[in-house]
């Protein structure tokens, strides 16, 4: 047997929570209202181009990217704009959102909705980058970094490998896994488009071993395309984190404070690669994505849904349960890194890979007790940090020590807090530490 690749420092094994792994992607349908935030990416909010009362179609540009690190926002439905206002989003921050009342389902005429797969790429790198930019694509693994920047190589950098991240090591989530099974060829073409934009020949699609169906389909289809290969990784968390993925596949480690491009790699999520395919080959802006709706208790109609951006979470939750009052916690994202939502009506964004429902019992975090120095956090940290030491430096206000402990290297995967038998919220301490170190600089 071939030894499957993985990173060498730390990591944890999550129990199998992939309840929805075998469920095909289905269309979620249209809600009555969608709430489209003008900031669904890191960087500045997009500049709003529309006003209350305007009629829009699916794919109409609503807001224009404000600078390089920003992204266009498109309408995900057809209908009338009824409100533009600050509304509380999932993380409890007020965000400017464009509220659209859904009427019919009319698309912008230039969007190609046919199922034909187009594999020819007749565009120049500049044309590709412009198409990606005008489609509002951002990193869909959750980072939200505007994609045009990541398919352009900046002056003086050399890239030799494109990694397409199909790891999805997060607990519960299966959206990327399903996408690889159902849209494999489109993802491969998406990878080739990125390669063309970057001017390189080598793309590797990384999949972890718990997705045999995706591995089989991808391995078969990549044979048709020169320069695209599949690499199977161990199922380990956080294998899908950018730095850990690069380390597993190329053996290169991104030095502290550096970017993947500094070791000659660019990483894009499979969802992003698919969105790039649709943008470039089908003129389709990013107005929908695949969202896993999951949870241990909510038994009915869990699954992987194709959801229009801006759909309220409650619209999906209503499909799974008649008793939303029994839900203890709603998490946007997966169990390890997801954000627990303050209200059920918060809209799904370009970055929402899943809606995880926990019951009342699982929703409660156990209280923090004393550290017993078991060193499990140290063994689990994929960055070689000592989370217990970061926590005690925070508790004693020793901010100089935080810097010596390389707190800035933390990737916020949460492995330390997951494994801690004393249930110390180590990730919270690490995040606080990062803020403190930043303040000092």
Partner 1 sequence: MLKISTAPHLNAPLSTRSIMFNVILALLPTLIAGIMFFGFNALLVVVTSVAGCVAFEYLFCRFVTQTETSTWDLSAVVTGLLLAFNLPATIPLWMVLVGCFMAIILSKMVYGGIGKNMFNPALVGRVFLFISFPVEMTTWIKPQFLNFMSPDAQTAATPLKILKHLSADGSADELPSYFQMFVGNIGGCIGEVSALAILIGFVYLLYKRIISWHITFYYLSSFFILISLHWLITKSPGADPLAHLLSGGLMLGAVFMATDYTTSPMSPNGKIIFAIGCGVLTYIIRIYGVYPEGVSFAILIMNAFVPLIDKLYIPRLFGTARR
Min CB(347)–partner 1 separation in Å: 16
Nearest Cα to Cα of residue 279 among 130, 410, 436, 435? 130
Min CB(425)–partner 1 separation in Å: 6
Q: Single out the residue of 273, 276, 336, 355 in contact with partner 1 (rule: CB under 8 A).
A: 336
| CB of 74 closer than 8 Å to CB of 61 | yes
| CB of 341 closer than 8 Å to CB of 313 | yes
By beta-carbon proximity to partner 1, the closer residue of 136 and 240 is 240
Residue 65 near partner 1 by CB under 8 A: no
Strand partners, 268: 164
Name the one residue in this structure whose structure tokens are 């994202």: 333
Min CB(242)–partner 1 separation in Å: 12
Binding to partner 1, residues 249-268 (CB under 8 A) = 253-256, 258
Residue 339 near partner 1 by CB under 8 A: yes
Read out DSSP for 334-397? Answer: -TTT-EE-S-TTPBP-TT--EEEEEEHHHHSPPPP-------HHHHH-TT---HHHHHHHHHTT
Name the one residue in this structure whose structure tokens are 């694509």: 137
Q: Single out the residue of 22, 342, 400, 435 in contact with partner 1 (rule: CB under 8 A).
A: 342
Nearest Cα to Cα of residue 413 among 372, 438, 385? 385
Residue 341 near partner 1 by CB under 8 A: yes
Q: Pick the piece of the chain touching partner 1 (CB under 8 A) from 79-87, 118-126, 267-275, 342-350.
A: 342-350
Binding to partner 1, residues 370-409 (CB under 8 A) = 370-376, 378-379, 381-386, 388, 406, 409
Binding to partner 1, residues 140-179 (CB under 8 A) = 171
Which contiguous run of DSSP H or E holds residue 96?
strand 94-102
Residue 425 near partner 1 by CB under 8 A: yes
Q: How many residues bind partner 1 (CB under 8 A)?
A: 67
Q: Pick the piece of the chain touching partner 1 (CB under 8 A) from 66-74, 143-151, 297-305, 356-364.
A: 356-364
Query: Tokens in use for 382?
Result: 């994929």
At residue 139, the 3 state secondary structure works out as coil
Nearest Cα to Cα of residue 390 among 372, 376, 378? 378
Q: Pick the piece of the chain touching partner 1 (CB under 8 A) from 81-89, 151-159, 283-291, 411-419.
A: 411-419
Min CB(369)–partner 1 separation in Å: 6
Q: At what angle do helices 175-182 and 270-282 cross, to 10 degrees?
A: 50
Question: Beta strand 61-64 with 73-74: parallel, antiparallel or unpaired?
Answer: antiparallel
Burial (CB count <10 Å: 0-12, 13-18, 19+), residue 253: middle
Which spans of this chain sit near partner 1 (rule: CB under 8 A)?
9, 12, 14, 92, 171, 243, 247, 253-256, 258, 327-331, 335-344, 356, 358, 360, 362-366, 369-376, 378-379, 381-386, 388, 406, 409, 412, 414, 417-423, 425, 427-428, 431
């Amino acid at each position: 047997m071939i030894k499957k690749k993985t990173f060498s420092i730390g990591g944890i094994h999550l129990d199998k929570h992939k309840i929805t792994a075998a469920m095909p992607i289905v269309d979620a349908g249209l809600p009555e209202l969608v709430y489209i935030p003008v900031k669904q990416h890191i960087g500045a909010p997009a500049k709003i181009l529309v006003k209350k009362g305007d009629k829009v179609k699916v794919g109409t540009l609503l807001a224009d990217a404000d600078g390089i690190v920003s992204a266009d926002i498109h309408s995900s439905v057809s209908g009338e704009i009824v409100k533009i206002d600050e509304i509380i989003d999932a993380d409890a921050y007020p965000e400017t959102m464009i509220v659209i009342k859904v009427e019919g389902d009319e698309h912008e005429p230039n969007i190609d909705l046919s199922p034909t797969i187009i594999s020819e790429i007749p565009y120049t790198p500049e044309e590709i980058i412009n198409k990606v930019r005008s489609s509002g694509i951002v990193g869909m693994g959750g980072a939200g970094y505007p994609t045009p920047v990541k398919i352009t190589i900046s002056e003086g950098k050399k890239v030799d490998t494109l990694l397409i991240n199909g790891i999805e090591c997060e607990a519960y989530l299966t959206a990327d896994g399903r996408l690889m099974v159902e849209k494999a060829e489109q993802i491969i073409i998406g990878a080739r488009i990125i390669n063309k934009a970057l001017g390189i020949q080598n793309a590797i699609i990384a999949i972890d071993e718990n997705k045999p169906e995706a591995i089989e389909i991808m391995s078969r289809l990549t044979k048709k395309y020169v320069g695209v290969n599949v690499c199977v990784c161990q199922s380990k968390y956080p294998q899908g984190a950018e730095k850990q993925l690069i380390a597993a596949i190329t053996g290169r480690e991104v030095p502290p404070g550096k970017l993947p491009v500094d070791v000659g790699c660019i990483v894009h999520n499979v969802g992003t690669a698919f969105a790039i395919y649709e943008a470039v080959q089908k003129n389709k802006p990013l107005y929908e994505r695949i969202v896993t709706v999951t949870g241990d208790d909510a038994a009915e109609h869990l699954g992987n849904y194709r959801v229009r951006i801006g759909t309220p979470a409650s619209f999906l939750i209503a499909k799974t349960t008649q008793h939303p009052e029994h839900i203890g916690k709603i998490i946007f994202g997966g169990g390890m890194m997801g954000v627990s939502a303050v209200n059920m009506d918060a809209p799904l964004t370009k970055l929402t890979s899943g809606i995880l429902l926990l019951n009342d019992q699982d929703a409660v975090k156990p209280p923090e007790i004393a550290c017993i120095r078991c060193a499990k956090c140290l063994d689990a940290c994929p960055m070689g940090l000592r989370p217990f030491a970061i926590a005690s430096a925070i508790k004693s206000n020793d901010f100089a020590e935080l810097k010596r402990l390389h707190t800035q290297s933390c990737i916020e995967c949460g492995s330390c807090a997951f494994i801690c038998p004393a249930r110390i919220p180590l990730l919270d301490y690490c995040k606080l530490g990062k803020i403190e170190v930043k303040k000092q600089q």
